Structure 1
């Protein structure tokens, strides 16, 4: 009877988890800003507490870090718009240069281009014996860009509003949850879980942000020394990509390789850029950050990659940024709840 009850509980729990994930996928426009606001609250909560110690009212102390973060983001977007546009214009002009560097691939590239031209001619040719109907799209590229920009702005506004009220409320939600739990043991366990999540995730986010900023500064300095202009663009890109474990630095290596091939005539000089970027990431990712976080986070690398792939499929780039913290929270909860301890053991490195 007990074994049957455990099986029923397991499958019921599995169905509940699937329902939660399905709702998170279907309502991503609402759920994703809420999740981002919760993690930003964990990151900015120490700043609000520090301002409160200096007798700054909580209503003002909650909005000041948000204004600072939004101002930095707006300034970065304004500063990077011109370099991004310049490199976007370089891409079509750099194809001949890439072919010079990659002579081995020039033959297959020409064959592929010819096959694509033939396929385009076949696709554009009207079928015989049928009436051709021209379908006009009212959106076009401008409409699609406007729709995408509107979705991003809506999500940003939702995140900022929820973040402000989370910072303003402080520990109100925790107190309310503790109040409705039936027994003292449950109340104590809930407080311990919430405190550990807040402490560990806050430390993780703060440490990773500082280390990624150091990676961005080091990358910008190295690229400037190598003669690659727009150092703010490369430093910001290295800073952002380093938030995505494993996959982000790999993408960065490819981007710096492409930038080197488009900029320098010498193939060896072009290869130096991704090598130096990889060395910087190796020093940070394999020595400094693990030394600072090893006591708090020891997660299975294979499961980290699977988590990255899954959350990127669920929520795109923001999901990839949240994959590791979400996996860390799952491990913290699993270690604290007896029925989930086997899952916590599975998540360990």
Structure 2
């Protein structure tokens, strides 16, 4: 594996990486929808090709595929809005039950609060005047309006870019092949493109299928536990499982809270998160690694760092896109001689 021997290569590469990351952060409102559209294009491109083999025009096939995705999202939101609103209404009624379950934690929490207050009093300098700051607050309505508008803008950009990517097909690959100077360069470009499409499509399809199985198992388990609204909890498990490690941990916290709000007995309240954790362990430690081991062997430490970093950069969507982007980087590095050392560094056991 060739390693750069010139120190200037490291410095210039580091400066380029920092500049690229700064641009990704500053222009996230534009770049994030484009990256999401590129990943969805890898997932949906096989469906468009299948429709093309059935003599459906590419533009019509892309439009049907996009409408199918939008319809599925709209149906999911419509189906989950009612049970989510019901749980929001039940939240004030369940607070006394939650306080009763947390009574055992009252003593340590009070002790921690007293320690924090003593530390704050010790750090306050005597005679220091208080500083009064005036901050203009737009209120909850303004914050929700701004967040909704930003989300709708990003969704519209993603759908628009995704449609034209599906219609374009392999046009960018053909243009790259036409301008490359040698036959070996052309073959390498085609090889990288095909490998990225095959591996990422297989990864996304496998993960989506396994997450759907986790959602179905969670919905059935919550129904048998008497928690109610199994569709809501199945959809929650399905969506959270797209974020490796961190998503299931957050899901355990959600089911702990929901169990405490729903059941009087503490042991019965801990049953839903225990079942959800067991389902995730079976899926995450046995089934999914067995299906993806031949295609993806990424370093788990780098996966965690990638999740944390892209969540800080782009939020929840960044955490969802972290592993596909890391896998694409490894595939490209493995097939470019100057970057093979980096590809080897990204590889797991």
Is TM-score (shorter-chain normalized) higher than 0.5? Answer: yes
Find out whether 1:81 has 2:118 as its counterpart.
no
Find the aligned partners of 2:58 and 2:276 in 1 and give their Cα distance.
42
Name the count of aligned residue pairs: 338
Q: What is the CA-CA distance between 1:129 and the residue it aligns to?
A: 9.7
Other-structure match for 1:176: 175
**Match in the other structure for 1:24:** 24
2:122 equivalent in structure 1: none
Q: Counterpart of 1:348?
A: 347
2:156 alignment partner in structure 1: 157
Q: 1:141 to 1:5 in 2, by over 3 A?
A: same
Unaligned stretches of 5+ in structure 1?
118-127
Deviations 1:74-97 (A, max 9, x none): 111122122222222333433321
TM-score, normalisation: structure 2:
0.90
Determine the C-alpha separation between the residues in 2 that align with 1:130 and 1:151.
Answer: 37
Q: Cα distance 1:112–1:142, how it changes in 2: closer, same or farther (>3 A)?
A: farther
Aligned partners of 1:310 and 1:338: how far apart in 2? 27
Q: For the structure 1 residues 269 and 58, does the alpha-carbon distance in structure 2 shift closer, same or farther, using more than 3 Å as the test?
A: same
2:123 corresponds to: none
Aligned to 2:65: 65
Q: Distance in 1 between matches of 2:319 and 2:133?
A: 42
Matched, 1:234 2:202: no
Distance 1:169 1:113, change over 3 A: same
TM-score where L is the length of structure 1 = 0.90
Q: Residues 241 and 4 (structure 1 numbering): CA distance in 2 closer, same or farther, change over 3 Å?
A: closer
293-302 vs 76-85, which moves further: 76-85
1:209 maps onto 2:208 in alignment: yes
Which stretches in structure 2 are left out of the alignment for 5+ residues? Answer: 118-127
Query: 2:124 is matched with which residue?
Result: none
Work out the CA distance in 2 between the residues paired with 1:305 and 1:314.
14
Q: Give secondary structure in 2 for the equivalent of 1:329.
A: helix
Q: 1:156 to 1:115 in 2, by over 3 A?
A: farther
Deviates more, 1:275-284 or 1:198-207: 275-284
Residue 221 of structure 2 is matched in structure 1 by 222
Deviations 1:99-146 (A, max 9, x none): 2112221235567889999xxxxxxxxxx9999897654x32111101
* C-alpha RMSD over aligned residues: 2.5
Where 1:94 maps in the other structure, the secondary structure is helix
TM-aligned CA distance change 1:133 to 1:62, over 3 Å? closer
1:245 aligns with 2:244: yes
Instruction: Note if contact 2:310-2:319 (Cα within 8 Å) is conserved in structure 1.
Output: yes
Distance 1:4 1:280 in 2: 46
Helix, strand or coil at the partner of 1:297: coil
> Cα 1:11–1:77, aligned 2, differ >3 Å: closer, same or farther?
same
Provide closer, same or farther for how the CA distance between residues 227 and 55 of structure 1 changes in structure 2, counting only shifts above 3 A: same
